[in-house]
Copies of this chain bind each other. A is one copy, B any other.
C-alpha cells in the first residue's frame, strides 16, 4: 500500500485541486489497483533485467511471436520454456539474437543482461542423464533471473562416490536444486550433507511403478533429511523460481 499517494490525493481534495467526483473515481479503483501496484512493487526487484516468461506448450509459434514482439518492444528480456525445436527455429528467424537450448527446450532473448541479484550460487544437481532436460530448464531459468548458477550431472545415489567427490561444491552453494527421477533419493542424500536449502524436483524419468514421476515425488516428500522442499514433477521452472525467491532476499 502507498499511504503517500493516498495522502496526496486527499490533500488535493481538501485543497479543491481535485473535485470530489474525480477523487471518488480515483479512490474507487484504488483498492485493487493498490494490490496491483503492490504486486508491481514486489516485482520490481525481479524486473531489473529479469525476463518475462512464456510457457511455450500449447501455443503456436505465431502466438509466441506476437507475445515476444510485445515484450521486447517494452524493453524486457524473454524466456520461453517447453518450446519444441520447430517453434524455436521459427522464432530464431525473426530474432537472430535468440538462443535455443534443445535439451532444456528453452529459448532466451537477452537485451539487457540480468543484474546479479542473488546472495550466492544456485547449484543444480541431477541424478541421471535422463534428468538433464529438467535440470537444464531450472538452470536457464535461474540464470535469466540474475542468479549465478552451477550444474552437476549424473551423480545418482547408486554411485555415491561420484556425488561425494563434489562435496565442496555442494557445501558452498547458496541454494541447491536436486533433480531426480526413479526413486528420487538424491535430495535426501544431499540434504544430509549440506545445511543450505534443498529444492527437490521429481522427474517423470522411469517406467512402470515410477507412475510418471509420482514415485519420485512421494520419495522426496517423505525424505528422512529434515527441511527438503518439493515442487511438481518435471517442474524445473518452478524450482528455479523458488531458488530465486530464496537467493534474492533483501539484506537485513
Contact = CB atoms under 8 A, between A and B. Distances in A.
Interface string A222-236: 111111111111110
A158 B188 contact: yes
Contacts of A168: 1
Contacts of A120: 249, 252
Given A120-B249, A159-B192, A211-B218, A197 B30 contact: no
Q: Is the interface of A mostly helix, strand, loop or mixed?
A: helix
Interface string A195-229: 11111001010111111111111111111111111
A90 interface: no
A211 B195 CA distance: 28
A51 interface: no
A25 to B, nearest CB: 10
Contacts of A228: 231, 238, 242
B1 A27 contact: no
28 contacts: A6-B24, A7-B24, A10-B27, A13-B14, A31-B31, A33-B165, A35-B193, A36-B159, A157-B157, A157-B188, A158-B189, A158-B192, A174-B249, A183-B219, A195-B245, A195-B248, A197-B245, A198-B245, A206-B222, A208-B212, A208-B222, A208-B234, A209-B221, A209-B222, A215-B218, A218-B218, A218-B219, A222-B232
